[in-house]
Amino acid sequence: MTDALALAFDFGLAALVLIVATWTLLTRETAAAAVGFVAYGLLLTLVWMRLAAPDVALTEAAIGSGVTGTLLLGAAARLRPTEAAAEAEQPGKAMRFVVALLCASVSAGIAGTILMLPDPAPTLAAEAAAALPETGLGNAVTAVLLSFRSIDTLLETVVLLLALLGVWSLAPDRVWGGRPGPRDGAYQSEVLTFLAQILAPFGIVVAMHFFWIGADAPGGKFQAAAILAAMWILVQRAGLVDSPPVSRRWLRLVVVAGPVVFLAIGFLGSATAGAFLAYPEGYAKPLIIAIEAALLPSLAVALALLVAGPPARTE
């Protein structure tokens, strides 16, 4: 009974994901498509829960739907004047049909491969579980991110930093080092002010909760950083604070602190434990917490600034 119910639920959920994705891609108006993308992200969060991946569900909800959705909504509003002109550039019917056929064959190929995956599936779950006690952590995903495959995470934080540098370098010369985005006037709406004042402290507590439980339960620095970034953007939109000029030294220090501490601990591993990013025996957990604590503000600030875009005004 429960199995049949679960399968029916999965069927419905999969159908919804496909319907919303198709509509999002085909609808005329870009702003509407961006709203569709937010709903699509919510549905994917439920899919990740069904795939027994709560860590990914949290990341999808926070970054995939929340922060990316905000970015797309803002860009769609800015680019509205260009929509009509672009519409005329749509390729012809025959061309679209050929492309659809090709894409369908790509999908069919992937689907066939997935259905023919070997059984029993190869898995590293047992190895991860066996090595988990050495890290002192309880959440295997966090252990993969910060111990077994920590080089991925290190490079990822560097990618985030490079993307931020890329965005900043798009600023016109006259506003170089200035504040990103338009200034949102204070008290433009009491409701928005109220929401930001209530939600932001609550969000900071929730982010700290995710950060803290991440060692042993679903959660961790990425999810916490995305929520912190969202709350910072929220108070900016409400006009309670202004975005900082990107030339500020504290800002740049915070942004690089995470990767720098990560690298330093990595080299410490070369000196004391015989390999880059290896943790000396017995010190794995404190070192992992040190890296996470340094990464949290870096990631939060970098995510928020990526949404804010390049500097746009000097005052």
Partner 1 sequence: MAEFLLCAAVFVVATVAVGLLRLLRGPANTDRMMAAQLLGTGGIAALLLLAAATGEPAPVDVAMALALLAAFSSVAFVKSASR
Partner 2 sequence: MTLALDVLTVVAVSSGAFFFLAGTVGFLRFPDSLSRLHALTKADNLGLGLIMLGLLPRAGGVGSALKLIAVWLLAQVAGAAVTQLLARAARTAGPPA
Partner 3 sequence: MNGAALFGVTAAALVGLGLYGLIVHPQPLRKILAFNVLGSGVFLIFGVVARRGAGAGMGGDPVPQALVITGIVVAFSATALAVALLLRLFEETGRASLRSDVSNANDEAGGNS
Would you say how long the chain is, in residues? 315
Number of residues that bind partner 2 (CB under 8 A): 8
Number of residues that bind partner 1 (CB under 8 A): 60
The residue from 175, 192, 257, 268 that contacts partner 1 (CB under 8 A) is 192
Contacting range for partner 2; rule: CB under 8 A; set: 92-100, 115-123, 184-192, 252-260: 184-192
Residue 118 gets the label, from left (phi > 0), alpha (psi -120 to 50) or beta, of beta
**Closest Cα partner for 239 from 277, 200, 276, 211?**
200
Q: Is 35 in the site for partner 2 (CB under 8 A)?
A: no
Question: One symbol per residue from 144 to 183: x for binding partner 1 (CB under 8 A), - otherwise; what is it?
Answer: --------------------------------------x-
Q: Is 128 in the site for partner 2 (CB under 8 A)?
A: no
Determine the 3-state secondary structure of 268 from DSSP.
Answer: helix
Contacting range for partner 2; rule: CB under 8 A; set: 26-34, 96-104, 188-196, 253-261: 188-196
DSSP H/E element including 180? strand 179-180
Q: Which long-range contacts (CB under 8 A, 24 or more apart) does 25-29 make?
A: 28/87, 29/83
> CB-wise, 203 or 266, nearer to partner 2?
203
Rounded Cα distance between 167 and 292, Å, is 25
**Closest Cα partner for 180 from 92, 271, 65, 312?**
312
Half-sphere exposure of 277 (CA within 13 A, CB side): 17
> CB-wise, 66 or 310, nearer to partner 2?
66
The residue from 105, 189, 270, 272 that contacts partner 2 (CB under 8 A) is 189
Question: To the nearest whole angstrom, how small is the minimum distance from the Cβ of residue 103 to partner 3?
Answer: 4
Q: Is 5 in the site for partner 2 (CB under 8 A)?
A: no
Helices (H) and strands (E) in the chain, counts: 13, 2
Q: Is 47 in the site for partner 1 (CB under 8 A)?
A: no
Rounded Cα distance between 227 and 65, Å, is 12
Going from the C-alpha of 300 to that of each of 21, 115, 224, the distances in angstroms are 28, 39, 8
**Closest Cα partner for 188 from 239, 123, 146?**
239
Contacting range for partner 2; rule: CB under 8 A; set: 7-15, 39-47, 87-95, 193-201: 193-201
Question: To the nearest whole angstrom, how small is the minimum distance from the Cβ of residue 82 to partner 2?
Answer: 21
Question: To the nearest whole angstrom, how small is the minimum distance from the Cβ of residue 16 to partner 1?
Answer: 5
Question: One symbol per residue from 200 to 229: x for binding partner 2 (CB under 8 A), - otherwise; what is it?
Answer: --x---------------------------
Rounded Cα distance between 172 and 178, Å, is 10
Rounded Cα distance between 113 and 105, Å, is 12
> CB-wise, 181 or 310, nearer to partner 1?
181
Residues 311 and 246: beta-carbon distance below 8 Å: yes
In the complex, the residues that contact partner 2 under the rule CB under 8 A are 189, 191-192, 194-195, 198-199, 202
In the complex, the residues that contact partner 1 under the rule CB under 8 A are 1-2, 5-6, 8-9, 12-13, 16, 19-20, 23, 29, 31-32, 35-36, 38-39, 42-43, 45-46, 49, 54, 57-58, 61-62, 65-66, 69-70, 73-74, 76-78, 182, 184, 192, 195, 199, 202-203, 206, 209-210, 213, 217-219, 223, 227, 230-231, 233-234, 237-238
